[in-house]
Amino acid sequence: MQKLTVIALFILIFISIYLIYSANQKKRINLNRASAWPEVLDLIIASLQSGASITESLAQLGRIGPSVIRADFQKFSETISMGDNFESALGKLKETFADPISDQLFESLYFAAKFGSKNTIKILRELSEYVSSDLALRAEINTRFGWVRNSANLAAFAPWILLLILRTQENARVAYEQSFGQVIMIVGVIATLLAYLWMNKIARLPKPKRLFTLAMVDK
């Protein structure tokens, strides 16, 4: 029984670490992508001002764009080179990012390419200013709410540090080696994981909703 309990504890701890690591990795990738959009917009604006077409402006991001989004725009360039039309390639790019900011950018470029617009650069510049302001505001809020995440970390690790201290006492060590004590430890690991995930969830800013989710290509 004791051996099975130890194995179960290790499995639960491993799963907990994996879930936390995966969530942090995903959050880091999304944050890096979001932070890249102002630079992407500035590069597109500069390219359009130099006389390049919308397709060329997007394709060159696969070479000179921020590294975090470069591969996606390389695929866009390859899709165009293989003979796919602009609307279809842009639609695939839009679904790849699935982001409110990219939705606004790609919808603006789609409208300009399909119907023509003298205000494309002005619209993109206003979008760039909005995105930069929004990112700065979110960064400030995240910094101020950092104490919630720190509290979650403390709440997750403090009980187990206390447990290690208690196990230095003979009576406590014997108690936790009993079946009931081992069950308490398993329940404690599960409760710690759930509490940690919940605390991090309430500390997370709500993600902006996508408004332009319909396909671009006319049926």
Q: Is residue 137 part of a domain?
A: yes
Is it the case that residue 35 has pLDDT exceeding 80? yes
Is it the case that residue 82 has pLDDT exceeding 80? yes
Euclidean distance between CA atoms 133 and 125, whole angstroms: 12
When the pLDDT of each residue in the chain is averaged and rounded to a whole number, the result is 81
Q: Which residues contact 211 (CB under 8 A, 6 or more apart)?
A: 100, 103, 104
Q: What is the pLDDT of residue 9?
A: 66
pLDDT band at 217 (very low <50, low <70, confident <90, very high): very low
Number of domains in the chain: 2
Euclidean distance between CA atoms 90 and 79, whole angstroms: 10
pLDDT band at 219 (very low <50, low <70, confident <90, very high): very low
- Biggest CA pair distance of the chain: 80
Return the structure tokens found at 199.
């605390």
Is it the case that residue 51 has pLDDT exceeding 80? yes
Q: What percent of the chain has pLDDT over 90?
A: 17
> Mean pLDDT throughout 77-97?
88
Place of tokens 């049926």: 219
pLDDT band at 218 (very low <50, low <70, confident <90, very high): very low
Q: Is residue 59 part of a domain?
A: yes
Residues 60, 82, single domain; the answer is: yes
The angle, 0 to 180 degrees and rounded to 10, between the axes of the packed helices 120-144 and 2-49 is 150
pLDDT band at 42 (very low <50, low <70, confident <90, very high): very high
Is it the case that residue 216 has pLDDT exceeding 70? no
Q: Which of 76, 110, 143 is the last residue before a domain boundary?
A: 143
pLDDT band at 168 (very low <50, low <70, confident <90, very high): confident
Q: Which of 76, 109, 143 is the last residue before a domain boundary?
A: 143
Exposure string over 81-102, b if 16+ CB within 10 A, otherwise e: eeeeebeebbbbbbeebebbbb
What are the CA-CA distances from residue 207 to residues 30, 35, 94, 101, 138 (Å)? 11, 14, 17, 11, 11
Residues 90, 131, single domain; the answer is: yes
Residues 123, 189, single domain; the answer is: no
Euclidean distance between CA atoms 45 and 123, whole angstroms: 10
Is it the case that residue 55 has pLDDT exceeding 60? yes
Q: Quickly count: other Cβ atoms within 10 Å of residue 49's Cβ.
A: 10
pLDDT band at 154 (very low <50, low <70, confident <90, very high): confident
Q: Is residue 97 part of a domain?
A: yes
Q: What is the pLDDT of residue 203?
A: 67
Question: Which of 35-49, 82-96, 150-164, 195-209: highest mean pLDDT?
Answer: 35-49
